[in-house]
Chain A
Amino acid sequence: MKRYLKLSITAVLILAVVALIYPPYSRWARDHVNKITATTDHPVRCGSCHLYLQKPGFISKLVNAEYHSPFNLAVSEDGRSLYVVAEESNKLLVVDRESRKITHEIGVGVRPHSIVIDRGGKTAYVSNQWSDNVSVVDLASFHVKEALKTGNGPAGIGLSKDEQSLFVVNSFSSDISVIDLKTSSERKRLTAGNNPTGLQSSPDRSMVYITSRRTLSKPFDDTIRCELTILSDGKQRISARKDIISAYMMENIAFTPSGDLALMPVVRPKNNVPTIQIERGWMMTGGIAVIEMKPEGRIAQLLLDEPNAYYADPFDISVTPDGKTAFVSHAGSDCISVVDIDAVREIMAGSTDELLEQYAHHLGISSRFVIKRIPTGANPKGLAISPDGKELYVAEHLDDRIGIVSTETLEMKERIDLGGPRRTTVNRRGRQLLNNAGGTFQNQYSCFTCHPDGHEDGLVYNMASKDMGRNMTNTQSLRNIGDTPPYKWNGKNQTVYKQDGMRFSTVLTRNEPFSYRDLDALTAYIMTGIPNPPNLLYNPAGELTDAQKRGKMIFERTHDFAGFEIPVSNRCVTCHPAPFFTNLQMVGVGTLAASDDSILFDTPHLNNIFASPPYLHDGRAATLEEIWTIYGKTEEHGAVNDLTKIQLNELIEYLKSLRDPDYEDGSNKTLKAAFGNK
């Protein structure tokens, strides 16, 4: 029977190949591929779409695989165990440092992000970004004792000095949960910066520093400001908020053991500068912020890049116990920068404020404090140093490995395989490409840089359309966009193949275009591999609140409150129908600026819209309210002028409740897991 099956499959394949070679069929195939890719040069490869673009199902299972994707990690006090947070497999992996083997795999919440271990190493706390809770893991029995409820999108996590409280950074709701560990309940919620992630206590445990990723500035033509939030451990109140100027994507922070300095990776974007060249750092630079901890201490930024070589997406930073060396993982460049902290101290001591300002723009300064760049596996994220300071552990996120670097020789000496699939699927390859700056001239930035987590960075860029300073564009999210073509605000790219093809390399990466194989992989990942997080903040279970229900009625109304019929073209639901809340059509909504070309806009999808400020094509609306209170007065963007403030609020509450259609299906694994962990 098997033999017949094999034979028939072979026969079918042979026939298919013959058919494709036979001129009429090959011509049809060519036209078909041109139509599907909206290009004329993509090779005829049936698998590109018919295998790798399949939504979850049999074929998808066949061509994809489930990886661990180690994101962050910690080392036990005795240095015997490594605790690895596996983002994709939703597990905490316990690795024996001696044997380099995984001893336990503990299921935690959804999309675990960070870990902290208590003094004595009895309990580990793992934040679960997609299930809004913290898994409390008993490290004696290696099982989850309980799940502590947090705010939305828990990420960075830390214990108070007396270890009676847990501080959890809520990356989506931009606040900090202070959890009382005696009652296992949230005592208070403190406001943080925009999209906070990293958390670290000062060496004396008196202060807790929280980093953030998105800017607080106006969408365009304003100085980028990203907040470093400082929390008093004793009072458990915010004691200061420091703006880090011209920087964002501040993922993590580390202190020197003496506590004289705090070091924080930063990305310094050039979104206000026309994107006319990559040379000389005209698009993106990266470095570290150096915070002097003394009273009236200065905050400087030193670039890690070099004039002809850039080190994209600095993510984590770790300092050796002797306080001499810091390691910065570059998730976009697959390497680690080794920083001589004494050299940094020298630079700070010997520099005026003016000089320090220069160093924030100087590609040569890194030669004074960067000792070495150590190559790593794909997409290095979290770092941890062994208690004896001899080994640096690197979470090679997209390689399912832990790299072990000798802090003495500064060489990668070993890798621990976490046992994920060894084959690199097309989708995985696409994810590696999206996260890697190799496709950009001189590795200056990756897709991830402007699309962190496959989302968007909240900035508005001057894309230097005809002339400079025209057609500012707000970065759009890549989450679940497979079903919502065309792409770009002007809708000129009908497919991702076209979006990321030659135009992409000419305008954005200014480098050799992706090979067709890589383009297929990138497209497969973007079209099928970037889901929206569940909307646990505004619509966790699919049941709308009364206000949201009233907002839904306004969204779907056909008549205004005076009883007059609203023209079909001016009803919300006309252009924004479910399930993606876009009709995929081009439309004008009266928002063209003097600096815009006269174009229509691709109707954006609205799922998880609450997570994508600013709004409108040029990001002029900082909040959903502003779309109508300030920029919707002409009634071209929906009939809203008869709404009271209460009704407008209800409409906006409904918009905030919109979530990915994948979650409408009750059987959604992620959502089930999210609730299962509550």
Chain B
Amino acid sequence: MNSKTYKYIIAFSILALLIVTGLLLIRNPAETENIPVNKNQSVIEDYRNSGDRYPGNSSQVIKEAGMVPVYGNWRTFTTKDGLPSDKAYTVRIDGDRVLVGTHDGMAVYENEKWKTYTTKDGLAHNGVVSVDVDELTGDVWIATLGGLNRWSGGKFETFNQLNSGMPNDLVYNVFCYGAHIWVATGGGAGHYDTRTRQWEIFTEMNAPMHEPWTYALSAGDGKVWIAAWGGGVIEYNTETSQFRDYVDPDGFMEIDLQPDDGVIHDITTATAYSDSILWVSTYFGMSRYDGKNWKGYFDHDSGLASNFINFIRAEGKVVFVCCDNGLSSTDGTTWVTYKKDDDSENGKAIITYGTEKKEIPLSPSISHNFIIGVDACGDFLWAATSKGVCRGELIK
């Protein structure tokens, strides 16, 4: 064998090694993440035989959920408990009290009692779809289908498109950011400077929007992200007053042709920013943006309850996702999804970790699978559903 032959052997060996590695990678990507394969381990049997609230080795399962908390012992509140309506649109925890927006007014849960506020008390409209609390002043800002309210010191003050610079009376979302109150409305997004009492409005006329219809917004680190219907996500830099838009590179196609190439769809329903991560929900799945890369999540390749997402809220590393078929929460890797059984008040929490799925039966479970609002604080997770609001306790 001459030197030429050695060279060919070495080159071939390297090529073969590369090909084998590539094939291995393509065949089983999970192995590269060093995740144990699903052995279809079930805890249902142990649970049935135990008198515990949770399955015998559920604590092990919950541990595996890692950063994503698991909530159980769900309690449902409906009109029977004092809610003005079972159609709950939004929920916000404000210290010792919980504010719930419903179809028939705003309900406040405090000291185990519900109190309802309606237009008779000064609410702009009884359809309360979003509530946020200015942590600095303690003022509560209420988005209704007929204007915006500031609820302060027990008094309601109404802002609408006739008496102020508000863009539109269909206020879908309100978000307090510093001294500014941001709203997403049917006539554009806008913000109210509580110090100068000035409004600034953003529509397709002065911002890179497809149309003025905006659904929700969130803010952080000097930026505001507006979920603009058909316009993807509009980023507004509060320092430079400059816009940037994030749209689906695939256009309006309902399938994500090229994975993780950007926001998964232009019809966005909400944004949530926390821990330097921007989460974007659509009716076709959810996206995560870390400032450089986008990642998409769908019900078929993650623990997401459904691709039809109404609203999201991020707390720390975890985002809570309100779907039309359950409530999900994730840190991007591990998923905890809550679903109610159709035929009973019971349900389950499904912990998904890669392809591995584990279930913890919950009795009772969330009140309904159509979730439209969520908020978490301390040991409690509250969800607004089509059948009242429900509260889950952190399983420790």
Contact = CB atoms under 8 A, between A and B. Distances in A.
B195 interface: yes
B194 A240 contact: no
Interface string B164-208: 110110000000000100000001100000111111110101100
B201 A645 contact: yes
A173 B193 CA distance: 12
A189 B195 contact: yes
Interface stretch (A268-276, A383-391, A621-629): A621-629
Contacts of A191: 137, 139, 150, 152, 157, 194
A644 interface: yes
Contacts of A625: 162-165
Nearest to A647: B205
B161 interface: yes
A646 B206 contact: yes
Given A189-B194, A191-B194, A645 B161 contact: yes
B154 A241 contact: yes
A236 to B, nearest CB: 9
A649 B162 contact: no
A191 B157 CA distance: 11
Interface string B206-229: 100000000000000000000000
Please classify the interface of chain B as helix (H, G, I), strand (E, B), loop, or mixed, using the class held by over half of its residues: loop
A235 interface: yes
Given A537-B196, A644-B205, A649-B199, A190 B165 contact: no
B155 interface: yes
Contacts of B154: 240-241
B137 A238 contact: yes
A410 B205 CA distance: 69
A240 B205 CA distance: 41
Interface in A611-639: 622-623, 625-626, 629-630
A256 B153 CA distance: 24
B203 A646 contact: yes
B345 to A, nearest CB: 39
Interface residues of B, number: 31
A151 B187 contact: no
A51 interface: no
Contacts of B165: 625, 645, 648-649, 652
A230 interface: yes
Nearest to B155: A241
Contacts of B196: 173, 537-538
Given A191-B194, A238-B139, A629-B162, A646 B205 contact: yes
B154 to A, nearest CB: 6
B152 A623 contact: no
Interface residues of A, number: 34
Nearest to A629: B162
A27 interface: no
A241 B168 CA distance: 28
Contacts of B138: 235, 237-238
A649 B201 contact: yes
Nearest to B136: A188
B169 to A, nearest CB: 11
Interface in A101-120: none
Nearest to A237: B138
A237 B201 contact: no
Most central of A240, A547, A629, A649 by chain B CB within 10 Å: A649
B153 A230 contact: yes
Given A173-B195, A188-B136, A189-B137, A629 B152 contact: no
A229 interface: yes
B33 to A, nearest CB: 47
Contacts of B136: 187-188
Contacts of A240: 153-154
B193 to A, nearest CB: 10
Given A235-B138, A240-B154, A538-B196, A630 B162 contact: yes
A229 B136 CA distance: 17
Contacts of B194: 175, 189, 191
Interface string A458-496: 000000000000000000000000000000000000000
A515 B356 CA distance: 97
A187 B168 CA distance: 31
Contacts of B162: 625-626, 629-630
Top-7 shortest CB links A-B: A237-B138, A241-B153, A238-B153, A649-B165, A629-B162, A241-B155, A188-B136
Interface of A: 151, 173, 175, 187-191, 227, 229-230, 235, 237-241, 243, 537-538, 547, 622-623, 625-626, 629-630, 644-646, 648-649, 652-653
Given A151-B195, A629-B163, A645-B167, 11 more contacts: A191-B137, A191-B139, A240-B154, A547-B198, A623-B164, A645-B168, A645-B187, A646-B205, A646-B206, A648-B165, A653-B198
18 contacts: A191-B137, A191-B150, A239-B153, A537-B196, A538-B196, A547-B200, A625-B162, A626-B163, A629-B162, A629-B163, A644-B205, A645-B165, A645-B167, A645-B187, A645-B188, A646-B206, A648-B165, A649-B201
